Chain A
């Protein structure tokens, strides 16, 4: 698949070319959305928001090769928007679904991991989920979250350190 050619076509208003670009890495996009939102409906919602934003803004993308990191940054921003909205709604509807990670109700140790991850600050949670659940490298996490690579590293390091302390030093 020629990414540069498809980006060029997308810039000219070719919607199918844009869809083809995203669908080429559909699992990566969907899992990224799912790790943030935790359910299918919200994941599809943010992906729809993302594709419209991509279409409206792709002319501003100078480096065609950066399409994937640029589009995933937009996806992450849309995920965060929906999470902020959901946080406001939780007070009204206590049954609001928790995230995929928070849903996990497995063996005690694994359950503890999810429980303790929730005790980290949101930046540490985000960095740890992206690194460990999606296997993204520091540079990619930095790009899609719009954070300097050094900051990502320190968030992960400090997050792990805090998790270790929360686990009572067993690990």
Chain B
């Protein structure tokens, strides 16, 4: 029984890995500030139905939108195209904090997958400093669970002005009146403001493709199940699940996925290609644990306008194999074994450059040092040169100068396991 209790005690260490998130305090403060007096549920339901019936009949009067100005450097791909076409819903409402920071919500773009907010931040007194002015945002509506931030990109225009786009979870079908809640934390004080807006469903990006995929492929020690593809003119989302098939692979996912360093865990990559040869840019994604394995969601730009069918190909699992070794090398070094999968074939000088030829299975992640100083690499694109092959590949890395004594420090190799299987998606 003692051993058995020790086994249970070992679970405590896992629980200790769970850390309270930074937004916990802001969430509680926000809940307290929004605290409402109790009203009976039936009264709320009756009022809600009446209001919704009335409100939804007015969507037909929606106005045409216009381009949100100033976002050219932060909106890319489909988002940029849609904004250029003026497809977003204009909001143009602001709120001001006591320290002189003003946030203006210019507009939104949304579909069944996400809602993207376009907003500007202006400081009327001190210079904007994102490390000091910590802005946390979420959207709420009828749904009890808030729509949290998923990602975003921003740019400082000058010391006092910035533009941002941030994506949130997609509003549920029944949402109409929503609030963008902004919590600005400076030092130990937090101030909360809110910008209300009304969703105009006529402005929502309509689905262009919704396909049940229901396809399984095996990649290395994993079974990957592609469940569904949903696309609009704003975004493309593919959802599915991964199952671990072998005991060795289970060790890689040991423990709580969220608490584990994502750097260690293999992650799924694949390309979506049209029959015209265009590849869809997939830039975002998420994984989370479920009762049956690991769920994944990968998202990116809208599908191209013209195609007859889609194919999911180059399905691969990428992982990092830790090496963490260092060697003293020189231009005389030849065929140095760094690791079972990594060899320094040769080092030579060319002009005023040092060339290091490495043969490796996976892409080596390394640096060259002269004393304490790291030597600048000239062709860093070699790190992205990830062939569709598991065989060793020779790459030549070029560095500035001709140092006689060099320290070679390698951290890891990035390895990709591919499957030849592809998934065809005919589109009606």
Using CB atoms and an 8 Å cutoff, list the residues of chain A in contact with chain B: 15, 18-19, 22-23, 26-27, 29-31, 34-35, 39-41, 44-45, 47-49, 51-52, 55-56, 94-98, 100-111, 113, 128, 132-135, 160, 163-164, 167, 171
Contact = CB atoms under 8 A, between A and B. Distances in A.
A10 B11 CA distance: 36
A134 B2 CA distance: 18
B79 to A, nearest CB: 25
Going nearest first, the 5 A-B pairs with the smallest beta carbon separation are A48-B31, A171-B4, A30-B20, A103-B289, A132-B8
A31 B24 CA distance: 12
Contact of B11 (A26, A132, A167): A132
Given A15-B29, A44-B27, A48-B27, 5 more contacts: A44-B24, A104-B255, A105-B254, A110-B10, A133-B12
B220 to A, nearest CB: 17
A49 B29 contact: no
B113 to A, nearest CB: 16
B43 interface: no
A104 B253 CA distance: 9
A22 B235 CA distance: 40
Nearest to A131: B8
Interface residues of B, number: 47
Contacts of B45: none
B245 to A, nearest CB: 12
Given A45-B144, A102-B291, A52 B18 contact: no
24 contacts: A15-B33, A19-B28, A22-B28, A23-B24, A30-B20, A31-B16, A34-B18, A35-B15, A39-B258, A40-B21, A41-B148, A44-B21, A49-B31, A51-B31, A52-B31, A55-B32, A55-B35, A101-B11, A103-B256, A106-B251, A128-B8, A133-B11, A164-B1, A171-B3
Contacts of B28: 19, 22, 47-48, 51
A94 B145 CA distance: 19
A108 to B, nearest CB: 7
Contact of A41 (B15, B145, B251): B145
B32 A19 contact: yes
A23 B256 contact: no
A32 to B, nearest CB: 10
B253 A105 contact: yes
Contacts of A110: 7, 10-11
B27 A47 contact: yes
A167 B4 contact: yes
A100 B31 CA distance: 25
A126 B263 CA distance: 33
Interface of B: 1, 3-5, 7-12, 14-16, 18-21, 23-25, 27-33, 35, 144-145, 148, 244, 247, 250-251, 253-258, 288-291, 293, 295
Given A26-B24, A160-B5, A108 B247 contact: yes
Given A40-B21, A48-B30, A52-B35, A100 B256 contact: yes
A contact face: mostly helix, strand, loop, or mixed: helix
Contact of A95 (B23, B35, B295): B295
A102 B289 CA distance: 9
A77 to B, nearest CB: 16
Nearest to B169: A41
Contacts of A34: 15, 18
A114 B204 CA distance: 44
A12 to B, nearest CB: 14
A160 B247 CA distance: 27
B25 A23 contact: yes
Most chain B beta-carbon contacts within 10 A, residue among A29, A40, A94: A40
A44 B32 CA distance: 13
Contact of A51 (B9, B16, B32, B255): B32
A30 B21 CA distance: 8
A49 B28 CA distance: 8
Contact of B32 (A18, A35, A103, A133): A18
Contacts of A55: 32, 35
Contact of B291 (A96, A100, A108, A167): A96
A116 to B, nearest CB: 11
Nearest to B294: A105
Given A45-B144, A51-B28, A106-B254, A134 B14 contact: no
A134 B253 CA distance: 23
Most buried by A among B8, B19, B29, B258: B8
A17 to B, nearest CB: 11
B4 A164 contact: yes
A167 B295 CA distance: 30
B12 A132 contact: yes
Contacts of A19: 25, 28-29, 32
B149 to A, nearest CB: 12
A40 B33 CA distance: 21
A26 B18 CA distance: 12
Nearest to A20: B25
A106 B11 CA distance: 11
Given A40-B21, A51-B31, A132 B9 contact: yes
B209 to A, nearest CB: 21
Contacts of B14: 104, 133
A103 to B, nearest CB: 4
Contacts of A47: 24, 27-28
Contacts of B12: 132-135
Contacts of B289: 97-98, 103, 105
Nearest to B27: A44
